Amino acid sequence: DIQMTQSPSSLSASVGDRVTITCRASQSVSTYLNWYQQKPGTAPKLLIYDASILQTGVPSRFSGSGSGTDFTLTITSLQPEDFATYYCQQSYSDLPERTFGQGTKVEIK
């Protein structure tokens, strides 16, 4: 199985800050890496697919990069509505067992 590790597990940031979340795969997943945002009490929402493509309607302050084993999600200017938990998900293997990272919680400083 491919293992996904996110870092940090949590972070505190202020409105307007630049935030970077890292996701590392235990083996290459090419660019088959997706990011989701989950706000408390709500379902996850697809933010970025194929490592760097923004889902329709996602603000341009979000961006994704990387390939192979190392990926980043960047929020250029954190907004109040961005405080949430973010998950990476690899889709290199056809079987989605253990497909998600453990999540990164972005909290208000």
Contact residues toward another protein (CB under 8 A) are 32, 34, 36, 38, 42-46, 49-50, 55, 87, 89, 91-103
Cβ atoms 71, 65 nearer than 8 A: yes
Please say which residue, 11 or 17, places its beta carbon nearer to another protein: 11
**Identity of the amino acid at 99:** T
Identify the residue whose tokens are 């697919």. Answer: 49
| Minimum gap (Å) between residue 16 Cβ and another protein | 28
**Identity of the amino acid at 40:** P
| Minimum gap (Å) between residue 15 Cβ and another protein | 26
Please say which residue, 44 or 68, places its beta carbon nearer to another protein: 44
Please say which residue, 62 or 87, places its beta carbon nearer to another protein: 87
| Minimum gap (Å) between residue 71 Cβ and another protein | 14
- Report the alpha-carbon distance of residue 4 to residue 52 in Å, rounded: 17
- Report the alpha-carbon distance of residue 32 to residue 34 in Å, rounded: 7
